[in-house]
Amino acid sequence: MNLQQKWDALVSEASRRGKQYIESLYPNPPDKFYKVYYTGKHEEFIITGSHYQFPFPIYPTGKKPTKADVQKLSDSLSKPMDFLEDMVYFDYYYIWDSKTGQKATTAIKGADLHSEGTILSEEEARQGADIVKAKWEEDQAWKALHKKDANYDYQSNGYKFLGWQNGWRHVYFDKDGNVATDEKLRKSFGYLTADYPEYGKCRDAKHRTISVQHDNRGSENTVSCPECKIYYKYDCSD
């Protein structure tokens, strides 16, 4: 048996072990899945196979396997190995150019493909797309209705100015959203409703806001809420 044959036999054995593990996890994998995009478009993805991503290479270092490649792969397969679900992938393709029918190929983790939120039904994808499209169109209409530019006169249109956010008193929060005085527990920073009630009320209500950048450097930015009729500025320039 020459080097190429030895190499092919080892790769075949690795593939067999990987396939066996994948089938034990996912005995009945789907043959396709779908995604819904924020514009309301949905796309189909065709599953073509699966593979296990080993912690060692199963490809030769050059065009042809060397004696060292064969020995290294042989040594790797001779050792006990703990298979991990996170290393399971399903290969798939989708049509990226509908005019020519040209395909793009890639892979998705098995855990992601089999997660609760993955869409496996075309009917479900269409229904989801209709909902997302309606929301997207409503969002675009809202943005068009409340569109502003750098010259917009907020005060003449009934907006109250809350000041420059850069000068506001900020606090730090831990991972649970509680105020954190211990530096080790700090995960984010923000502003208390007690200090800025109008801003806090708007933020807690999750109102949509309009942001306007006045120049490319980001030296002046204005954020406004059409519902609360408030606006404030911040500077994020270097």
* Nearest Cα to Cα of residue 236 among 187, 166, 171: 166
> Which residues of the chain, if any, have pLDDT below 70?
238
pLDDT in tens, 172-201: 999 988 899 888 899 999 999 999 999 999
pLDDT in tens, 196-215: 999 999 999 999 999 999 98
179-201 as b/e: b if 16+ CB within 10 A: ebeeeeeeeeebeeeeebeebee
Helix (H, G, I), strand (E, B) or coil at 113: helix
